[in-house]
């Protein structure tokens, strides 16, 4: 086993999981984790859900317990942004002017919220949402209820934040460029399901609509003007219009970048000894034969593991079926699959009205993606959906829709 020095840039889930995997696989050499944020690596999904709602405490967030780094000889440097990398010399530069040598380097720099060049977006009360500090800040603004909140963005984060804001008793209006929220992600029928869920809980939609400007007095936000000229009152505005992969270090170093850092299935970049994982990596996926950049928790977890193993010269490929989840009001949703392969509308098993259903998307008769909403976990729907996708066997939509046919009966060796 190698004893080379491994440097990890980025203290998110991918970076911390890589450090954990390096030690679990027996790597005895130095491991240095350089993190720009001042918090130890933590999970982001609860930030817009149970943590924002005050239903989970800080103990639910850390990727590993605080003492783990010292106990396992991982040098964790917080508040240490990397300012440059030199793949030819195998060095990284840190903010304090210091240069560190590496044998292998992992870029796990994640993504940053996309910003809008909107007049008024620098007013107090207007923000984006990505970090634990953002969650603390927004919770303080939402918790008392009774405020006007405008959410700009109809994707997963905008919808989760709208749900939390409304649950606290605020008046929430959501603007988005799509006809239906989440339409780009899950199509009009299921996007419509989430819209109805939100409307039943008091959220108001302006779709399609964009923000033309944000107004304020004395440096503080008072409203949002839409492109249709409507003036919406606002005490708080969140801009949740997607993220941009943080590729600046790779780009400056001449590493191949296209919608993220390009990698092979083992997460090797175009520079020898440099790997990328998590939101920043656009990895070649063996299942689709195309590059795939995922902005989901399980991709950062699995990517961190794969990159660590590959850095140690072990067999490793990121070949799992992508997975993510969301919780909004009384709906828990899980999704597995390859959105880029979907051809046509979903087949539904169960009832949208009762908020308990499965949805399957197909291509050439094969299941390529599947969603479960409030489906009993004991039935392990996601495990079976992933197996169905991997099996690549054709299944008739009638059978998929039939609640009388147990899901696992659809697997080829059942
Ligand atoms: C609010 C929220 C809710 C989410 N909910 C879900 C969900 O329900 N389900 C789901 O599947 N996924 C969800 N996600 C997505 C999931 O959290 C991300 O996919 C995951 O966090 C990506 O991890 P990462 O380690 O690749 O990147 P990040 O978590 O972005 O971590 C990267 C880190 O690198 C640091 N960094 C960047 N540049 C440098 C540098 N030059 N030097 C040092 N450090 C640097 C950044 O500051 C950051 O801390 C959510 C994300 C957010 C923000």
Domain ranges of the chain: 6-112+244-311, 126-241, 330-410
Residue 213 burial (10 A CB sphere; 0-12, 13-18, 19+): middle
- pLDDT of amino acid 414: 67
- pLDDT of amino acid 2: 73
- pLDDT of amino acid 246: 98
Report the separation in Å between the CA atom of 261 and the middle of ligand 1, taken as the mean of its atom positions. 15
Report the separation in Å between the CA atom of 409 and the middle of ligand 1, taken as the mean of its atom positions. 37
Spell out the CATH class of 330-410.
alpha beta
- pLDDT of amino acid 8: 98
- Cα separation of 214 and 131, whole Å? 23
| Residue 63 DSSP code | S
Residue 317 burial (10 A CB sphere; 0-12, 13-18, 19+): middle
Report the separation in Å between the CA atom of 44 and the middle of ligand 1, taken as the mean of its atom positions. 6
- pLDDT of amino acid 328: 97
Spell out the CATH class of 126-241.
alpha beta
From 9, 20, 41, 45, give the residue whose CB has the most ligand 1 atoms within 8 Å, as the site to mutate.
45
- Cα separation of 295 and 114, whole Å? 13
Ligand 1 contact via 108 beta carbon (within 6 Å): yes
Report the separation in Å between the CA atom of 14 and the middle of ligand 1, taken as the mean of its atom positions. 8
Ligand 1 contact via 341 beta carbon (within 6 Å): no
From 10, 18, 241, give the residue whose CB has the most ligand 1 atoms within 8 Å, as the site to mutate.
10
Q: What is the pTM of this model?
A: 0.97
- Contact in structure between 213 and 119 (CB atoms under 8 Å): yes
CA torsion sign, 270 to 274 to 279 to 283? positive
Q: Do 6-112+244-311 and 126-241 fold alike per CATH?
A: yes
From 110, 158, 165, 326, give the residue whose CB has the most ligand 1 atoms within 8 Å, as the site to mutate.
110
Q: Which CATH superfamily is domain 6-112+244-311 in?
A: FAD/NAD(P)-binding domain (3.50.50.60)
String of DSSP letters for 75-89: EEETT--EEEEETTT
Q: What are phi and psi of 234, to 5 degrees?
A: -150, 130
Each of the 414 residues of the chain gets a pLDDT tens digit; together they read 678 999 999 999 999 999 999 999 999 999 999 999 999 999 999 999 999 999 998 888 999 999 999 999 999 999 999 999 999 999 999 987 899 999 999 999 999 999 999 999 999 999 999 999 999 999 999 999 999 999 999 999 999 999 999 999 999 999 999 999 999 999 999 999 999 999 999 999 999 999 999 999 999 999 999 999 999 999 999 999 999 999 999 999 999 999 999 999 999 999 999 999 999 999 999 999 999 999 999 999 999 999 999 999 999 999 999 999 999 999 999 999 999 999 999 999 999 999 999 999 999 999 999 999 999 878 889 999 999 999 998 999 999 999 999 988 989 876
Ligand 1 contact via 15 beta carbon (within 6 Å): yes
Which residue has the CA at smallest separation from atom 15 of ligand 1? 296
Report the separation in Å between the CA atom of 392 and the middle of ligand 1, taken as the mean of its atom positions. 31
């Amino acid at each position: 086993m190698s004893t080379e020095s491994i440097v990890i840039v980025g203290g998110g889930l991918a970076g911390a999981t890589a450090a954990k995997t390096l030690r679990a696989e027996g790597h005895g050499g130095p491991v240095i984790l350089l993190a720009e944020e001042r918090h130890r690596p933590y999970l982001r999904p609860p930030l817009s859900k149970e943590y924002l709602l005050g239903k989970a405490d800080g103990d639910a967030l850390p990727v590993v317990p605080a003492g783990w780094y010292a106990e396992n000889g991982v040098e964790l440097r917080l508040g240490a942004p990397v300012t440059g990398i030199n793949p030819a010399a195998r060095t990284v530069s840190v903010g304090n002017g210091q240069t560190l040598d590496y044998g292998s380097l992992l870029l796990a720099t994640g993504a940053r919220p996309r910003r809008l060049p909107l007049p008024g977006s620098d007013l107090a009360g207007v923000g984006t949402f990505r970090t634990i500090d953002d969650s603390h800040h927004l919770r303080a603004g939402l918790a008392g209820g009774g405020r006007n909140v405008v959410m700009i963005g109809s994707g997963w984060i905008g919808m989760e934040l709208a749900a939390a804001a409304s649950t606290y008793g605020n008046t929430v209006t959501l603007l988005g460029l799509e006809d239906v929220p989440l339409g780009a992600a899950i199509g009009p029928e299921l996007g419509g399901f989430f819209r109805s869920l939100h409307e039943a809980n008091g959220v108001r939609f302006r779709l399609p609509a964009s923000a033309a400007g944000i107004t304020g007095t004395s440096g503080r936000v008072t409203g949002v003007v839409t492109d249709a000229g409507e003036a919406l009152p606002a005490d708080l505005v969140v801009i949740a219009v997607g993220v941009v992969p943080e590729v600046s270090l790779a780009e400056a170093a001449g590493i191949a970048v296209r919608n993220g850092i390009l990698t092979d299935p083992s997460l090797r970049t175009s520079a020898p000894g440099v790997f990328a994982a998590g939101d920043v990596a656009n990895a070649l996926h063996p299942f689709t034969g195309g590059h795939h950049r995922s902005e989901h928790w399980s991709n950062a977890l699995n990517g961190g593991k794969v990159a660590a193993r590959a850095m140690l010269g072990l067999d490793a490929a990121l070949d799992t079926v992508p997975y993510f989840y969301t919780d909004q009001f009384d709906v828990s949703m899980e999704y597995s699959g390859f959105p880029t392969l979907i051809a046509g509308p979903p087949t539904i098993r169960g009832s949208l009205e009762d908020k308990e259903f499965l949805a399957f998307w197909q291509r050439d008769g094969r299941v390529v993606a599947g969603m479960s909403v409030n489906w009993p976990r004991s039935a392990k729907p996601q495990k079976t959906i992933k197996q169905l996708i991997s099996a690549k066997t054709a299944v008739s939509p009638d059978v998929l829709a039939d609640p009388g046919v147990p899901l696992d009966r659809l697997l080829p060796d059942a």
